Structure 1
Amino acid sequence: MTRSSTTAGAFQEARLPVQAKLAAAWTSVMFLYIYVDYLALYKPGVIDDILVGVVHEFDTGPTFVALALTLMAIPSLMILLSTTLPARVNRASNLVVATLYIPASLYNADGESWSYSYFYGLSIGLEVLLLAFILRAAWTWPRTTRATAGRDLAQARV
């Protein structure tokens, strides 16, 4: 006895809130950032440079450390902010931050050797795709009509 896809039933699509999609995407961006930085340590000479205080041609002084922390803290905070900010502010902050992080991701390929082009190409490509997803999700955030919003508000008061 065989079943067709119509008799077996279709899977129900779960509707995730935009906030959950954004938080998941920012989490994925953070995992990529962390793993790319970690795996870059396996490149010959990287640890030797770190030991003498140089990362990607920059001195590892207090300014570098503060900027690196800021660069990683913002997407990390976007995970939380994507789930807690009001919709209008949430949408705007995701659009701004994702837009600013695309060139930051592309910069990571600057000065890298061609022998690691696949590694950086793949990681940067994935980061940019995730940031594009964030931009699309924030840009297409569903709007409620005034009638629906008023009815929802009235129901919430009951």
Structure 2
Amino acid sequence: MLDDIKVHTKFKLSALWCSVMFCYIYGDYFELYQSGKLQQMLAGRTALGPATQATLLGMSTLMAIPSLMIALSLLLPATANRWLNIVLGVLYSVIMLLAIQGSWHFYVLFGLIEIALTVAIVWYAWIWPKRLAS
């Protein structure tokens, strides 16, 4: 019989957000190999239109939130942590569902993995064990 430990929900959530971030990074990195992608970047175009300060700030915020959730999942009190993970897990699942529409196969693969991970985040946050009142 192999020895095993019970992993606290906070650690599970943090690890899942880490995995999500690695998939985001690799998916976006591999996307640079698509023909014409670098030329679009050099011309100042993004998937959302021209690369303005507002567009880049919005995209930065969108990517900073999952990065922060790695730490916040460990640091926030349980109730706030639970609800923030549920809301953001659903939000990022929907965002990825929209983002993979008509994408290259590698991006769809990363997107489906990211959706599975963010759904797992929602699931683990939803079933967060409750402590019996003393």
Q: TM-score range by the shorter chain?
A: over 0.9
1:74-128 CA-to-partner distances (Å, cap 9, x unmatched) read 001101110000111100110011111111111222353xxx2x21221111000
Q: Is the partner of 2:3 in helix, strand or coil?
A: coil
1:118-153 CA-to-partner distances (Å, cap 9, x unmatched) read 212211110000001101110000001112xxxxxx
Measure, in 1, the Cα distance between the counterparts of 2:126 and 2:19: 19
Q: Are residues 1:20 and 2:7 paired?
A: no
Instruction: Name which structure has the greater RCO, CA cutoff 8 Å, separation 6+.
Output: 2
Q: Is the partner of 1:74 in helix, strand or coil?
A: helix
> Which of residues 53, 57, 70 in structure 2 aligns to 1:62?
53
Measure, in 2, the Cα distance between the counterparts of 1:133 and 1:51: 37
Counterpart for residue 106 of structure 1: 97
Counterpart for residue 140 of structure 1: 127
Measure, in 1, the Cα distance between the counterparts of 2:108 and 2:40: 23
| Structure 1 residues 106 and 13: alpha-carbon distance in aligned structure 2, compared to 1, 3 A threshold | same
Counterpart for residue 156 of structure 1: none
Counterpart for residue 80 of structure 1: 71
Q: Is the partner of 2:115 in helix, strand or coil?
A: helix
Largest Rg, 1 or 2: 1
Q: Are residues 1:95 and 2:86 paired?
A: yes
Q: Quick check: 2:10–2:73 contact (8 Å CA) kept in 1?
A: yes
Q: Quick check: 2:48–2:55 contact (8 Å CA) kept in 1?
A: no
Q: TM-score, normalised by structure 1?
A: 0.81
Measure, in 2, the Cα distance between the counterparts of 1:57 and 1:86: 35
Q: TM-score, normalised by structure 2?
A: 0.95
Opposite residue 84 of structure 1, the aligned amino acid is L
Opposite residue 42 of structure 1, the aligned amino acid is Y
Measure, in 2, the Cα distance between the counterparts of 1:144 and 1:75: 27
> Which of residues 38, 44, 53 in structure 2 aligns to 1:53?
44
Q: Is the partner of 2:131 in helix, strand or coil?
A: coil
Measure, in 2, the Cα distance between the counterparts of 1:90 and 1:14: 22
Opposite residue 120 of structure 1, the aligned amino acid is Y
